[in-house]
Amino acid sequence: QKISALQKARYGYIPKLPPVIQEDLSKIQAQLGEPTEAVADREELKKLFEKTYGKPIATFSRGSNPDASKKRKVGVILSGGPAPGGHNVICGLYDALKKANRESVLIGFKNGPAGILENEYIELNDKIINDYRNTGGFDIIGSGRTKIETPKQFEQAFKTAQEQQLDAVVIIGGDDSNTNAALLAEFFAKKGTNIQVIGIPKTIDGDLKNQYIEASFGFDTATKVYSELIGNIERDAISSHKYWHFIRLMGRSASHIALECALQTQPNICIISEEVRAKNMTLAQIVDQITDSVVKRAEKGYNYGVILVPEGLIEFIPEVGNLIEELNTLLAKEAAEFEKLEDTKAQIDWVSSKLTGRNKDVFVSLPAGIQAQLLMDRDPHGNVQVSRIETEKLLIEMVATKLKKLKAEGKYNGKFSAINHFFGYEARCAFPSNFDADYCYALGFTAFVLIANNLTGYLASVRNLSRPASDWEAGGIPLTMMMNMEKRHGEMKPVIRKALVELDGAPFKTFASQRDEWAVETCYQFPGAIQYYGPDDVCNQPTKTLKLEQET
């Protein structure tokens, strides 16, 4: 198989590690702090996680851990959407395992959590690992969105772990997959076994973070790729002066991706879903905000612009959010009846007849295309598949209608020609930036050190990320500490709390302090493509979000 010149060059890249984990592994000891508490719903969670609730935070320091060199067998799972750097997590885990004991074995469960349920796996070896170092994608073993949920599935996972004689399972996933990791750790502990479960914070969405987990891997690379593309479109806009570009960006719920891209590219408008919810904005108000910028720019002779729309927006508009909540419960409860309906039209009619009050009015007022998209299958975690709802088209349609009205009233005299884009899958498998390559390799190593210190129910953590890797600190955060109870499929479930954009945080405030100017003037910035080789300020910079968060 022929490989590209860049892939060949990236094989030679040596990821940087935090100093403490560069040590001889038998000299790294986990230091345990005080017991911890969950972010909310502590009593319910204590009952659900009898064995694993409230563990202390773990940090690493020089000491003695003769157990590290024990021969081990570990299984690894890639879960959910791909994120750049996943291969390096596996490489880091493999290298650490083999460094501690050459006889140890790493198996990769195939195609996500389904792999452990069905005992489908491959044994990883030097050849396979070397072929995937510093590459994007999750194709080394494949990924999937199966949820380990039912008692039968937990038993199946346990059976596989026992048959395989695993010492530990490492789950590389987002908030939902790490919720699974916490449940599995508890299940194994209740079974009286020592099989450990360690999670790794993955997702381009950037919403698996908190005081201790500074970033999920993949966010850095994905936002750099999207920002490159947005910058290129901005340059096209100022070259040809023809179009308003409406760009929807992946990120499911939170607007971290849109905000980071806005900070990098300074578009005319970037909608932040969390602000829409906080201000209880209606769809009509969002349309007014965009229209206002279009009108003002037209007065200056700029009949072009760039608008960023986070894909989660639709759920955060309070009136649409309420509608989606009622729809989720309705579709979960009356799934059998819904499935019998012949076509989309029948589904829309049936749903319209079942909805109540204001939700019904909102649903009926939406274009048929969006109505149909709102009824599409939920993912296995019960979430609406927002990546398939074309909010940017909805906004274009509504802005165009509003501008027509203003034109008729003599309040607008420009030209509005809009183009819609969706940037999502383009970035999830990019070659990881140096930051993600280093961070992920360090997370893989960290997972091993947690295992070697007999810990279970932890998320690997590497901190101090806005500083050079020589200042990074590795450790583990108990999974139950990040959990609360939320409604899923109409039922209350334990889940890791998603981190949304904080409106009093530095990234949002920095954006908000400049956006009025961006809305009217042309202040675009062109970040260009990710650079892997060159000066530090070009190729070794973390995201603006991380820098701003850590400066304050």
The answer to whether the annotation marks 297 as part of a ligand binding site is no
Among 93, 247, 386, 474, binds ligand FBP (CB under 6 A): 386
- Degrees to nearest 5, angle at CA 116 with 115 and 122: 60
Binding piece for ligand FBP, criterion CB under 6 A, among 104-112, 248-256, 287-295, 532-540: 248-256
Binding piece for ligand FBP, criterion CB under 6 A, among 80-88, 95-103, 448-456, 524-532: 80-88
Q: Would you say 248 and 309 are in contact if contact means Cβ atoms under 8 Å apart?
A: yes
Query: Cβ atoms within 10 A of the Cβ of 537, count?
Result: 7
Q: How far is the CB of 83 from ligand FBP (least distance, A)?
A: 6
Pick 121 or 138: Cβ nearer ligand FBP: 138
Q: Which residue pairs from 529-532 have beta carbons closer than 8 angstroms and sit at least 24 positions apart in sequence?
A: 529/228, 530/221, 530/224, 530/225, 530/228, 530/430, 530/431, 530/433, 532/6, 532/9, 532/10, 532/13, 532/431, 532/433, 532/434
Tokens 């935090």, residue located: 18
Is residue 205 flagged as an active site residue? yes
432 binds ligand FBP (CB under 6 A): no
Pick 204 or 462: Cβ nearer ligand FBP: 204
Binding piece for ligand FBP, criterion CB under 6 A, among 134-142, 202-210, 453-461, 535-543: 202-210
Pick 387 or 484: Cβ nearer ligand FBP: 387
Report CA torsion sign: 10, 450, 189, 496. negative
The answer to whether the annotation marks 425 as part of a ligand binding site is yes
203 binds ligand FBP (CB under 6 A): yes
Q: How far is the CB of 248 from ligand FBP (least distance, A)?
A: 11
Binding mask 208-247 for ligand FBP (x = CB under 6 A): ----------------------------------------
C-alpha 434/C-alpha 531 separation (Å) is 9
**Where in 299-318 is the site for ligand FBP (CB under 6 A)?**
311
Residue 26 vs residues 31, 67, 184, 199, 342: alpha-carbon distances, Å: 14, 7, 27, 22, 63
Q: How far is the CB of 408 from ligand FBP (least distance, A)?
A: 38
Pick 254 or 452: Cβ nearer ligand FBP: 254
Binding mask 171-200 for ligand FBP (x = CB under 6 A): ---x--------------------------
Query: Cβ atoms within 10 A of the Cβ of 125, count?
Result: 12
Among 252, 463, 497, 498, binds ligand FBP (CB under 6 A): 252
Binding mask 327-366 for ligand FBP (x = CB under 6 A): ----------------------------------------
Q: Would you say 80 and 145 are in contact if contact means Cβ atoms under 8 Å apart?
A: yes
Q: How far is the CB of 91 from ligand FBP (least distance, A)?
A: 19
Pick 258 or 355: Cβ nearer ligand FBP: 258
Could you give the 3-state DSSP secondary structure of residue 106? strand
> Regarding beta strands 473-478 and 458-463, do their DSSP bridges make them parallel or antiparallel, or are they unpaired?
antiparallel
Binding residues for ligand FBP, how many (CB under 6 A)?
Answer: 16
Q: Would you say 500 and 58 are in contact if contact means Cβ atoms under 8 Å apart?
A: no
In what helix (H) or strand (E) does residue 364 lie, and over which residues does it extend? helix 357-365
In what helix (H) or strand (E) does residue 114 lie, and over which residues does it extend? helix 114-118
The answer to whether the annotation marks 426 as part of a ligand binding site is yes
Name residues whose C-beta falls within 8 Å of residue 456's C-beta, 6 or more positions apart in sequence: 52, 168, 185, 188, 189, 194, 195, 196, 197, 198
The answer to whether the annotation marks 516 as part of a ligand binding site is no
Name residues whose C-beta falls within 8 Å of residue 265's C-beta, 6 or more positions apart in sequence: 227, 230, 231, 234, 306, 524, 525, 526, 527
81 binds ligand FBP (CB under 6 A): yes
C-alpha 54/C-alpha 459 separation (Å) is 13
Pick 54 or 380: Cβ nearer ligand FBP: 380
> Regarding beta strands 458-463 and 196-201, do their DSSP bridges make them parallel or antiparallel, or are they unpaired?
parallel
Q: Write out the two tokens for 84.
A: 């750049």
- Per the residue annotation, which of 95, 167, 205, 438 is the catalytic one? 205
| DSSP state string for 60-73 | EEE---GGGGS--E
Q: Mark the binding-site residues for substrate, compressed into ranges.
A: 203-205, 242-243, 250-252, 311, 425-428
Q: Mark the binding-site residues for Mg(2+), compressed into ranges.
A: 175
Q: Mark the binding-site residues, compressed into ranges.
A: 81, 175, 203-205, 242-243, 250-252, 311, 425-428
- Catalytic site positions: 205
Site residues, ligand FBP (CB under 6 A): 80-81, 83, 145, 174, 202-205, 250-252, 311, 386-387, 428
